[in-house]
């Protein structure tokens, strides 16, 4: 197990919470959509994510991801695989039906898991396993997204945060996330490495830190995209309602 026990516990906990929330949320959406066997969606989503986490942990433990001379670098293939999978699923008719039944505050609320990830980075740095720039003491400000997520979700649910403000929050969240991803990628050994202070961030290719690029970061991107799509849908629905009211 890489890094301190506290960092490992935070990452395992963040992954477990994310899997549970995604599986339960999509299961409830399937029930509201009237799809057959909604419990099967919960089980399928949880099982798929757990298998992916297990496979990436096994790859990390084998050391294959830590071959820093490989071209292209191996560990970035994990988030690319996860993002392509999310994108393909998002294009299916079933997912669009599920998305229509997910309350718009839920994808925002789930982003709270990012607080645990940022605390894990901080603990890894304290233990000498991560350079300072990947933490909130350096150039990573992603914790702000996780801290504000519950407030924004509550505002969306209560109606005092509208879809345009939700889009703005999501865009800021994506900017902070891409900044964190770029900092981590250029802090790791290999061809992307920049001349940052401290030792290269080799722990990114070891378990459980590898779960950040394998699932946690791609899921955060996916949740932002889902929330933005929902917000645009709400704006379009509101505009259509106004036009319909004028025509009457």
Give pLDDT tens digits for 107-122: 999 999 999 999 999 9
Pair 208, 12: CB distance under 8 Å: yes
pLDDT of residue 54: 98
Provide CB contacts within 8 A for 127, sequence distance 6+: 3, 4, 7
pLDDT of residue 248: 56
Cα 147 to Cα 119, 141, 151: the distances in Å are 12, 11, 8
Confidence of residue 90 (pLDDT cuts 50, 70, 90): confident
Confidence of residue 99 (pLDDT cuts 50, 70, 90): confident
Burial profile 40-53: b = 16 or more Cβ within 10 angstroms, e = fewer: ebbeebbeebeebb
pLDDT of residue 75: 94
If you average pLDDT over every residue of the chain, what do you get?
92
pLDDT of residue 86: 93
Predicted confidence (pLDDT) at residue 185 exceeds the cutoff of 70: yes
pLDDT of residue 4: 80
Confidence of residue 35 (pLDDT cuts 50, 70, 90): confident
**Residue 57, burial from CB neighbour count under 10 angstroms (0-12, 13-18, 19+):** middle
Query: Residues of the chain with pLDDT > 70: what percent?
Result: 93
pLDDT of residue 8: 95
Predicted confidence (pLDDT) at residue 158 exceeds the cutoff of 90: yes
Predicted confidence (pLDDT) at residue 243 exceeds the cutoff of 70: no
pLDDT of residue 245: 53
What mean pLDDT comes out for the span 27-54? 93
Tell me the C-alpha distance between 14 and 211, whole Å.
Answer: 10
Provide CB contacts within 8 A for 163, sequence distance 6+: 104, 230, 231, 232, 234, 235, 238
Tokens 């992954």 sit on residue? 15
pLDDT of residue 229: 92
**Residue 165, burial from CB neighbour count under 10 angstroms (0-12, 13-18, 19+):** middle
Both tokens assigned to 74: 């191996």
pLDDT of residue 166: 96
What mean pLDDT comes out for the span 67-91? 92
pLDDT of residue 237: 56
Tell me the C-alpha distance between 127 and 81, whole Å.
Answer: 30
């Amino acid at each position: 197990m890489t890094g301190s026990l506290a960092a490992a516990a935070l990452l395992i906990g963040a992954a477990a919470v994310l899997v549970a929330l995604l599986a339960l949320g999509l299961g409830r959406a399937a029930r509201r959509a009237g799809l057959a066997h909604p419990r099967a969606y919960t089980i399928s989503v949880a099982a798929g994510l757990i298998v992916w986490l297990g496979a990436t942990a096994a790859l990390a433990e084998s050391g294959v991801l830590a071959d820093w001379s490989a071209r292209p670098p191996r560990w970035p293939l994990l988030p690319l695989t996860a993002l392509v999978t999310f994108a393909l699923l998002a294009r299916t008719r079933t997912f669009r039906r599920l998305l229509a039944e997910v309350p718009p505050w839920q994808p925002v609320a789930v982003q709270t898991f990012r607080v645990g990830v940022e605390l894990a980075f901080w603990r890894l740095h304290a233990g000498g396993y991560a350079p300072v720039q990947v933490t909130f003491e350096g150039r990573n400000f992603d914790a702000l997204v996780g801290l504000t997520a519950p407030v924004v979700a509550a505002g969306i649910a209560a109606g005092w945060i509208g879809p345009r403000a939700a889009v703005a929050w999501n865009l800021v969240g994506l900017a902070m996330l891409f900044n964190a991803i770029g900092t981590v990628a250029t802090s790791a050994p290999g061809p992307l490495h920049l001349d940052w202070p401290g030792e290269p961030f080799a722990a990114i290719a070891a378990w459980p830190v590898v779960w950040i690029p394998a699932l946690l970061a791609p899921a955060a991107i996916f949740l932002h995209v889902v929330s933005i799509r929902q917000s645009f849908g709400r704006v379009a629905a509101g505009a259509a309602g106004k036009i319909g009211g004028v025509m009457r």
